[in-house]
A = this chain, B = another copy of it.
Amino acid sequence: MPTTEQAKKWYQGVDAIHDFSHIERVYRMAERLARSEGADLEIVHAAALLHDSRGTMPGSGERAEHHIASAVFAGEVLAEEGWPQERIAAVQHCIRAHRFRDKRERPETIEARVLFDADKLDVLGAVGVMRTIGYAVLAGQPAYVQPSQFFLATGQKEPGEPHSAYHEYLFKLCKIKDVLFTEAARAMAEERDAYLADFFVRFAAESRGEM
């Protein structure tokens, strides 16, 4: 198993959204879910430590394939540690299947579902506010722009419509609670989603000079 010190090195210089504090939170949450689901802890630990280890910079060209690149890197790290091939493959499956936007490989194993849920819980709640806003700021996007009726109806932006953090909430984050696999994660997600939704409601009201 890679040590925490080793893992920290993979995330040096990484943006604030996917830095080692994200890894630590996902690691802790994945461990908690793994215990309640009876998942293989070693697989889950390794997958949590390695799941964002390559190419996560917002707005960068490689971001769309960061789960693939991270799985390849995980294979190299674990092979060097002498892990058997089928356990390496189990970790790589977790990592390749953790990306919400990519439906090519869905989480099939309980370990992959645990990693998926732990990673997704980290975009909701107060941590979700920090990461969504931080991502928008780094990508040069505004925090809140009132979405067009067209976007609200279809999820597609009108020509020239900016992508704000609130658009990201409506496009992706508000659906997270419905795509989780484990009971425990779903229960936490309900409450964290409500907090994140309320943040944008408040933000809009304050921006209008209310409250």
Interface residues of A (CB under 8 A from B): 15-17, 19, 21, 24-25, 28-29, 32, 125-127, 129-130, 133-134, 136-138, 140, 142-144, 188, 191-192, 195, 199-200, 202-203, 206-209, 211
B127–A16 CB distance below 8 A: no
Given the contacts A133-B129, A134-B137, A136-B16, A211 and B191 also touching, CB distance less than 8 Å: yes
Residues from chain B with a CB closer than 8 A to the CB of A126 are 199-200, 202-203, 206
- Complex A-B: 28 CB contacts under 8 Å: A15-B137, A21-B143, A21-B207, A25-B206, A25-B207, A25-B209, A29-B209, A125-B202, A125-B206, A125-B211, A126-B202, A126-B203, A126-B206, A127-B203, A129-B129, A129-B133, A129-B199, A130-B143, A130-B144, A130-B203, A133-B133, A133-B134, A133-B137, A134-B143, A137-B137, A188-B211, A192-B206, A195-B202
> B134–A32 contact, CB under 8 A?
no
Interchain nearest-CB distance for A115 vs B (Å): 15
Residues of B within 8 A of A21 (CB): 142-143, 207
Residues of B within 8 A of A203 (CB): 126-127, 130
Question: Which of A29, A142, A200 counts the most chain B CB atoms within 10 A?
Answer: A142
Complex: chain B residue closest to A13, CB-CB = B140
Residue of B nearest to A16 (CB): B137
Contacts of A138 in B (CB 8 A): 137-138
The residue of chain B having its C-beta at the shortest distance from the C-beta of A21 within the complex is: B142
State how many angstroms separate the Cβ of A194 from the closest Cβ of chain B.
Answer: 11
Shortest Cβ distance from residue A189 to the other chain B in the assembled complex, whole angstroms: 11
Shortest Cβ gap from A44 to chain B (Å): 14
